[in-house]
């Protein structure tokens, strides 16, 4: 039988210290703890519900040199995640039931966290015709989130049809908002610095124009829309307006957009190259405020592993993207909790409950840490500090922008249905 864990003196969501029993995959009453239970002294630790990432690139199939489902989910477990949604831009693209079932099965075999494949909206991410969304929804992977992430569904009619079509199985379209003509060859945030550095600009309006169009489309057809990696102050305003109008829209922000700014591009080091790009300090403040007031529903990592050679080169030749799974919770603590913008209940909402609801996996994940609930739990030490060493990452890739930075907090343990995937900060 699986190990029973008695967690002593833990502060659930930052509340008064209490004891938790994890037995047979569920949270049980600590008073019923058997004598042979494995006891964990969790004094000073916080218990959070297992984190849920709505935006992860696991790269398999196709780019197993950058990441595999196994290595990516190991990184996820170390970051406190018990569920990740694997983006569709693999090779081949996850645009058929066959590919999503493969990714789903690989996740089950790895066993570090639950892997929910995201299906492509259009065949081959080409933006020309709908992929077989229904087949992916009906597959063993039970896909509910559809996205051409990396590319924007820029054709307004196609976007409208996708929004309408997924209603049949309670799906959601997660849009990578990037007007393609306004961002041809784009390398970094368009502003004073891009002009000075001679790097082609990625203007805020290219994101905001698509979000504005999509919230109007979602309102028109009465569908559910999710906005991926929102990065600008204008985007926050548009989503806030849409929510006030009753549009069924949700939005995510990435940890790097809560902390890093476009000034880092002045190094020409493509470790800071990401899409959407790092924005201005004013955008960062607006995104943080939007996350605090609930305009932005969730934090999602956009964990994007790339092999070393794709970053150890000139900026324009480098790939977009940065690692995120193992540092997300620390970045959120530093930018949102330590600044007083969110409490731990707010973190649980934005990194577990809400992403699970959006992804329609709330039967298993994003549940409160309470007796009778699935034992998906993270133990986190907010008082710890660590210096990020890329070599220590469980990811196959090393492209973290936080190299050498001192970050607060440490994931001490992660439990997936009562089984420890991480104990004492180490993979099990």
Binding mask 313-352 for another protein (x = CB under 8 A): xxxxx-----------------------------------
Question: How near is the Cβ of 365 to another protein at its closest, in Å?
Answer: 42
Q: Which residues contact 384 (CB under 8 A, 6 or more apart)?
A: 408, 409, 410
58 appears as a binding residue in the annotation: yes
Flag whether 55 is marked binding: yes
Q: What gap in Å lies between CA 84 and CA 330, rounded to an integer? A: 18
In whole angstroms, how close is the CB of 186 to another protein at the nearest point?
12
* Distance separating alpha carbons of residues 350 and 254, to the nearest angstrom: 11
Give me the least distance between CB of 190 and another protein, in Å please: 5
Angle between helix axes 97-110 and 69-78 (nearest 10 degrees) is: 50
The least CB distance from residue 316 to another protein, in Å, is 4
Beta strand segments in 1-80, E: 5-12, 17-23, 26-28, 38-41, 46-49, 51-56
Please tell me whether 24 is known to bind a ligand.
no
- Radius of gyration for the alpha carbons in the chain, expressed in angstroms and rounded: 20
Minimum distance between the CB of residue 393 and another protein, rounded to whole angstroms? 21
170 is catalytic: no
- Encoded tokens for 391: 């070599």
Q: Given the complex with another protein, which of 119 and 201 has the nearer CB atom?
A: 201
Name the one residue in this structure whose structure tokens are 């934005």. 350
Binding footprint of another protein, residue count (CB under 8 A): 24
In sequence order, the 6+-apart residues with CB closer than 8 A to the CB of 178 are 151, 152, 154, 202, 206, 207, 210, 275, 276
Q: Which is nearer to another protein, 252 or 310 (CB)?
A: 310
Is 365 within any annotated ligand binding site?
Answer: no
Residue nearer to another protein on the CB measure, 175 or 187 = 187
Judge whether 220 and 46 are in contact, CB under 8 Å: no
Burial 320-341 (b: 16+ CB within 10 A, else e): bbbbbbbbbbbbbbbbbbeeeb
Site residues for another protein, window 290-319 (CB under 8 A)? 309, 312-317
From the list 324, 317, 309, 206, the residue with the least C-alpha distance to 260 is 324
**Mask 263-282, x = binds another protein (CB under 8 A)?**
----xxx-------------
**Is 149 marked within a binding site?**
yes
Contact call for residues 25 and 326 (beta carbons, < 8 A): no
CB of 67 to another protein, least distance (A): 21
Is 6 annotated as ligand-binding?
no
Contact string 177-216 vs another protein (x = CB under 8 A): ----------x--xxxxxxxxxxxx-x-------------
Residues 95, 120 contacting (CB under 8 angstroms): yes
* E strand intervals along 206-304: 225-227, 249-253, 298-299
Catalytic choice (302, 338, 381, 389): 302
Q: Which residue ranges are tagged as binding site?
A: 55, 57-59, 89, 149, 176, 229, 275, 302, 306, 320-321
Using CB under 8 A, list all residues that contact another protein.
187, 190-201, 203, 267-269, 309, 312-317
Q: Which residues define the annotated binding site for substrate?
A: 57-59, 89, 275, 306, 320-321
Hey, which residues are catalytic here?
Answer: 302
What residue numbers does the annotated binding site for Zn(2+) cover? 55, 57, 149, 176, 229, 302
């Amino acid at each position: 039988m699986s190990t029973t864990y008695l967690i002593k003196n833990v502060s659930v969501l930052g509340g008064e210290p209490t004891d938790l029993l994890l037995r047979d995959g569920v949270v049980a009453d600590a008073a019923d703890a058997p004598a042979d239970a494995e006891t964990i002294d969790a004094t000073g630790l916080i218990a959070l519900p297992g984190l849920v990432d709505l935006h992860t690139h696991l790269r398999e199939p196709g780019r197993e040199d950058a990441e595999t489902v196994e290595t990516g989910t190991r990184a996820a477990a170390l970051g406190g995640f018990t569920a990740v949604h694997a983006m569709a831009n693999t090779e081949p693209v996850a645009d058929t039931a066959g590919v999503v079932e493969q990714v789903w099965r690989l996740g089950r075999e790895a066993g570090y966290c639950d892997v929910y494949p995201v299906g492509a909206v259009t065949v081959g991410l080409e933006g020309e015709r709908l992929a077989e969304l229904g087949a992916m929804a009906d597959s063993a992977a039970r896909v509910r989130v559809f996205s051409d992430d990396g590319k924007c569904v820029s054709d307004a009619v196609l976007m409208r049809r996708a929004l309408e079509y997924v209603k049949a199985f309670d799906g959601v379209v997660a849009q990578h908002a990037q007007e393609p003509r306004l961002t041809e060859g784009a390398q970094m945030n368009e502003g004073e610095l891009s002009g000075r550095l001679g790097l082609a600009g990625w203007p805020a309006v290219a994101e905001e124009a698509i979000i504005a169009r999509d919230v109007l489309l979602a309102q028109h057809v009465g569908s559910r829309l999710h906005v991926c990696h929102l990065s600008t102050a204008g985007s926050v305003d548009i989503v806030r307006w849409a929510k006030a109008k009753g549009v069924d829209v949700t939005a995510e922000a990435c940890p790097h957009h809560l902390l890093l700014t476009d000034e880092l591009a002045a190094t020409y080091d493509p470790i800071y190259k990401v899409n959407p790009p790092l924005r201005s300090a004013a955008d960062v403040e607006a995104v943080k405020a939007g996350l605090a007031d609930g305009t932005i529903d969730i934090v999602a990592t956009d964990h994007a592993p790339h092999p070393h050679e794709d970053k150890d080169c000139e900026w324009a030749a480098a790939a977009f993207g940065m690692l995120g799974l193992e540092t997300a919770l620390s970045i959120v603590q530093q930018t949102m909790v330590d600044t007083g913008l969110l409490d731990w209940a707010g973190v649980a909402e934005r990194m577990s409950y809400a992403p699970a609801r959006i992804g329609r996996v709330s039967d298993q994940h994003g549940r409160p840490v309470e007796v009778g609930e699935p034992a998906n739990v993270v133990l986190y030490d907010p008082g710890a500090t660590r210096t990020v060493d890329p070599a220590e990452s469980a990811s196959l890739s090393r492209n973290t922008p936080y190299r050498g930075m001192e970050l607060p907090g440490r994931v001490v343990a992660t439990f997936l249905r009562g089984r420890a995937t991480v104990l004492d900060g180490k993979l099990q």
